């Protein structure tokens, strides 16, 4: 009688284990295979558009198992929201003006971002300084594009700063975000010449054209795990200097 009972219980347990194993498999495939990108914007959204166009043209879903899954704006009137919708991306507006403190805004922002379990959180013209807690929460996953060759010209009006300094080359930087504004490990940069005839607008346009090449390129390096941020240092694997320093034609 004992033997029979043993025999009848075991297949049942076995089935339960098999089921749990399968669940674990499915869960790990779903949670680790797809790399979700969440993009934060405040305005025009031309860098967002560059990323979405390249991701579509290069079929990132299939080739990199990566996709922009959400665009969040802190401004209701950001033109980039229309671009996101055109690409069928979910959009959310979280207006910073509705919050009493920077901490409260960042907490709400993080709660919305975390719904998407992001591999990368991309600041593409997101004009808010983020709190330390926010930055730490996304350490190694938080990336920004800045329109200068950092560490030169952090902050605003970078093209004006470059013209005032009389530099002969200028450009853009994609970097991991750290506690300090417009600092943090540099992933890749793009360089343009400054021409004697340049005014702020002409220089900005030349840099922007390169930003649109640079940002999808840097994201690709990140998604392919050829660059990573480890203990505040950028680690580069399998990509040479030309990949990290783009030059305009
Ligand atoms: C870009 O110049 C970017 O480098 C800076 O803000 C600007 C955003 O432009 N951080 P857009 O919204 O992507 O057109």
**Which H, E and C letters describe 101-124, residue by residue?**
CHHHHHHHHHHHHHCCCCCEEEEC
pLDDT digits (tens, 9 = 90+) for 51-60: 999 999 999 9
28 CA distance to ligand 1 middle (Å) = 35
Please, is 117 exposed, middle or buried when counting C-beta atoms within 10 Å of its C-beta (0-12, 13-18, 19+)? middle
pLDDT number for residue 49: 98
Verify whether ligand 1 is closer than 6 Å to residue 118 (CB atom).
Answer: no
| Ligand 1: residue whose CA is nearest its atom 14 | 46
Take residue 32 and report the two structure tokens written for it: 């680790």
pLDDT number for residue 9: 53
Q: pTM of the entire structure? A: 0.87
pLDDT digits (tens, 9 = 90+) for 84-135: 999 999 999 999 999 999 999 999 999 999 999 999 999 999 999 999 999 9
205 CA distance to ligand 1 middle (Å) = 11
pLDDT number for residue 17: 67
193 CA distance to ligand 1 middle (Å) = 19
Task: Give which of 66, 74, 69 is closest to 93, Cα–Cα.
Answer: 74
Is the pLDDT reported for residue 241 higher than 90? no
φ, ψ at 127 (rounded to 5°): -95, 45
Residue among 147, 201, 213 whose CB has most ligand 1 atoms within 8 A, to mutate: 147
More confident site: 1 or 183 = 183
**Mean pLDDT value across residues 229-242:** 92
CB 145 within 8 A of CB 41: no
pLDDT digits (tens, 9 = 90+) for 204-222: 999 999 999 999 999 999 9
Verify whether ligand 1 is closer than 6 Å to residue 42 (CB atom).
Answer: no
Task: Give which of 160, 154, 230 is closest to 201, Cα–Cα.
Answer: 160
pLDDT number for residue 30: 42
- 136 catalytic per annotation: no
User: What average pLDDT does the chain have?
Assistant: 91
φ, ψ at 157 (rounded to 5°): 50, 50
Please, what is the angle between helix 200-223 and helix 46-57, to 10°?
40
pLDDT number for residue 23: 53
Q: How many CB atoms lie within 10 A of CB 243?
A: 16
pLDDT digits (tens, 9 = 90+) for 143-170: 999 999 999 999 999 999 999 999 999 9
Radius of gyration of the chain from its Cα atoms, rounded to whole angstroms: 22
φ, ψ at 27 (rounded to 5°): -60, -45
Q: Tell me the pLDDT band of 38, cut-offs 50, 70 and 90.
A: very high
Q: What spatial distance separates the first Cα and last Cα of the chain, rounded to whole Å? A: 84
């Amino acid at each position: 009688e004992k033997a029979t009972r043993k025999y009848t219980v075991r297949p049942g347990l076995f089935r339960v284990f098999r089921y749990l194993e399968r669940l674990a498999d499915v869960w790990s495939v779903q949670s680790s295979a797809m790399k979700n990108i969440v993009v934060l914007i405040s305005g025009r959204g031309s860098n967002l558009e560059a990323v979405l166009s390249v991701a579509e043209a290069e079929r990132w879903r299939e080739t990199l198992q990566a996709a922009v899954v959400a665009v969040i704006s802190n401004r209701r009137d950001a033109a980039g929201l229309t671009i996101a919708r055109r690409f069928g991306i979910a959009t959310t507006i979280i207006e910073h003006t509705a919050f009493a403190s920077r901490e409260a805004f960042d907490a709400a922002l993080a709660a919305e971002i975390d719904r998407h379990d992001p591999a990368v959180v991309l600041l593409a013209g997101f004009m808010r300084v983020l709190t330390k807690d926010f930055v730490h929460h996304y350490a190694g996953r938080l990336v920004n594009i800045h329109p200068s060759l950092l560490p030169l010209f952090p902050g605003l009006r970078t093209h004006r700063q470059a013209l005032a300094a009389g530099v002969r080359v200028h450009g853009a930087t994609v970097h991991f975000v750290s506690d300090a504004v417009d600092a943090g490990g540099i992933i890749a940069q793009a360089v343009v010449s400054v021409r004697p005839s340049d005014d702020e607008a002409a220089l900005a346009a030349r840099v922007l054209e390169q930003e649109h090449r640079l940002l999808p390129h840097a994201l690709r390096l990140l998604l392919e795990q050829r660059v990573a941020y480890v203990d505040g240092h950028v680690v580069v694997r399998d990509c040479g200097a030309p990949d990290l320093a783009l030059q305009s034609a």
